[in-house]
Amino acid sequence: MQSQLNGGAEVPAVGQVYLKRLSRIADSCDRRIYAVLDGALFGNLTADLSAAGLCHRPLYRSAGSNSAIVLGGPWLVSLSLSPPASSVPDSLVETAEPSDEELQALAAKLSNDMAKAVANGDESGGGLMPADEIDLPGRVKSRIEALLKLIADRPAVVFWVGDRGLSEETIYRHLRGINRIVLPLERDALAGLSGSVSGEAGDISLSAGDAQEGASFALDLEEARGRSGIVVFRHADPNVMMQVLPALSPEQVVRLMGPAEEIYFAPAEAWGGNIKRAHRPVDVVAQGGMLRLTPENIEVISASRMLAARRRRVTAFQRSAPHLLQGMDEREALIFMERYETQARIYGLKTERGFFQWTYLMSASNGRFIEAPDIRQNLRGRNPDARLDEMMRLMANAAKERGGA
């Protein structure tokens, strides 16, 4: 169900809840709200943010000439600040290619004007610098609303809230400090994470330790073992935050949150849905150095990923084969998925596609599918997932032929 914010733009209901909660924070005038957006989910985020009148800056620095890494990375939006006004004279706007002399003269004029304005008590420097409007909650709320319209239904934002003294530079430095974290890559620590660490069920992207910032890529776990433990942490992704935050110790949470008091994010339904809020623990000393995940953290994250995967399978069955879940509530449906997943793993299946196909074939046949000797033999070969996929394709083609006969 969707509702509307002022201005008529449609947003999911979660946007309305966000607006109410964040508006109450803005009304207090004693806490600052920052948003971190996942640039990868937008076509041209910088243009969208500029058009919405929102102050923004990237949390990745340029990696050589690859600007896509910066544009597709996380972006910090300061909701208490008004963007600087444009002060470029119309005469220069109409000039196709202003000369170096014109540009130098303009820079000198703008600098002089800004210095005069600051000296006269104008904190915005005559509109050339962002103005702090924390004491104007109406304007802060209008920016929150504009941001929510821009985000729409994308799982692309995490809100960071701190006290009045939390400056943009402070939160910027902190967020840059958690762009990368340390992940244990030992076999035992990663045994529960199938496939690659970055994938359908999560996005803690692996990065080579000496790679340029933001140059993240998914590594198969077999390739990752024994290599650098530095990974790119996609903290702008609510689904990632939902995986990681509940797995952390209080000391790790304090390290993650840094100067912020609260974090708000809304993961997808498979990860629990609705708006989640994390508080910074009090009287706890932060973990030193980079944020480090332990094998115990990975074990908890692995369990949450598997639960999310089962929820997705339940949704898929409700859409494509609801009769197989008839009479089951959510708990029973998840147990149903886990039971067949356990069977599938015994036969060497590892992928979500394989688990789905196995569950469908076994439940639809009342368990008789695997009783055929040729099927059991076929699955014992290399890559059982690919073999089951081929069997599924052949059965589907045979069914079509029978139907057309």
pLDDT in tens, 47-62: 999 999 999 999 998 7
The pLDDT score that the predictor gives to residue 210 is 28
CA gap 264, 303 in Å, rounded: 22
Contact between residue 83 and residue 108 where contact means Cβ atoms under 8 Å apart: no
User: Is the pLDDT reported for residue 193 higher than 50?
Assistant: no
Question: Tokens 């909660």 map to which residue?
Answer: 21
CA gap 15, 149 in Å, rounded: 8
In a domain, 162, yes or no: yes
Count: domains in the chain: 4
The pLDDT score that the predictor gives to residue 230 is 83
Length of the chain: 405
Residues 118 and 243 in one domain: no
Domain limit, last residue, from 118, 142, 173: 173
DSSP letters along 216-246, please?
----BHHHHTTS--EEEE-TT-HHHHHHHGG
The pLDDT score that the predictor gives to residue 183 is 86
Residues 104 and 188 in one domain: no
Q: Which of 223-232, 257-266, 267-276 has the highest mean predicted lDDT (pLDDT)?
A: 257-266
Question: Tokens 């703008």 map to which residue?
Answer: 110
Residues 166 and 185 in one domain: no
Q: How far is CA 255 from CA 175, 219, 241, in A?
A: 11, 26, 14
Residues 263 and 335 in one domain: no
Residues 48 and 159 in one domain: yes
Note the pTM of the prediction, 2 decimals: 0.74
- Residue 110 burial class via C-beta count within 10 angstroms: exposed 0-12, middle 13-18, buried 19 and up: middle
- CA of residue 197 relative to chain centroid, distance: 14
Q: Could you tell me if residue 220 is left (phi over 0), alpha (psi between -120 and 50 degrees) or otherwise beta?
A: beta
In a domain, 314, yes or no: no
Question: 65-74, 164-173, 338-347: which range is least confident on average?
Answer: 65-74
Specify the higher pLDDT residue, 103 or 378. 378
Contact between residue 11 and residue 53 where contact means Cβ atoms under 8 Å apart: no
Domain limit, last residue, from 229, 264, 299: 299
Looking at the DSSP bridge assignments, the partners of residue 158 are 36, 265
Specify the higher pLDDT residue, 207 or 321. 321
Q: What is the pLDDT of residues 84-140, one digit of tens each?
A: 765 444 444 444 566 667 666 656 665 565 566 556 654 544 444 578 999 999 999
**Average pLDDT for residues 259-266, to the nearest whole number?**
97
Which pair of tokens denotes residue 161?
Answer: 């809230």
In a domain, 305, yes or no: no
In a domain, 315, yes or no: no
The pLDDT score that the predictor gives to residue 176 is 96
**E-strand spans in 89-200?**
131-132, 157-163, 180-182, 198-199
Specify the higher pLDDT residue, 381 or 157. 157
In a domain, 316, yes or no: no
CA gap 59, 69 in Å, rounded: 10
Contact between residue 79 and residue 147 where contact means Cβ atoms under 8 Å apart: yes
In a domain, 347, yes or no: yes
Residues 187 and 253 in one domain: yes
CA gap 308, 273 in Å, rounded: 11
In a domain, 138, yes or no: yes
Residues 160 and 276 in one domain: no
Residues 71 and 93 in one domain: no
Residues 155 and 16 in one domain: yes
Residues 25 and 76 in one domain: yes
CA gap 116, 168 in Å, rounded: 24
Contact between residue 70 and residue 214 where contact means Cβ atoms under 8 Å apart: yes
Residues 150 and 263 in one domain: no
The pLDDT score that the predictor gives to residue 68 is 83
**Looking at residue 235, what DSSP letter applies?**
T
The pLDDT score that the predictor gives to residue 42 is 93
Give the domain range for residue 261. 178-299
User: Is the pLDDT reported for residue 4 higher than 80?
Assistant: no
Domain limit, last residue, from 149, 173, 197: 173
Residues 26 and 142 in one domain: yes
**Packing angle, helices 295-320 and 330-346, rounded to 10:** 110
Question: 217-231, 246-260, 273-287: which range is least confident on average?
Answer: 217-231
Specify the higher pLDDT residue, 113 or 396. 396
In a domain, 374, yes or no: yes
- Residue 226 burial class via C-beta count within 10 angstroms: exposed 0-12, middle 13-18, buried 19 and up: exposed
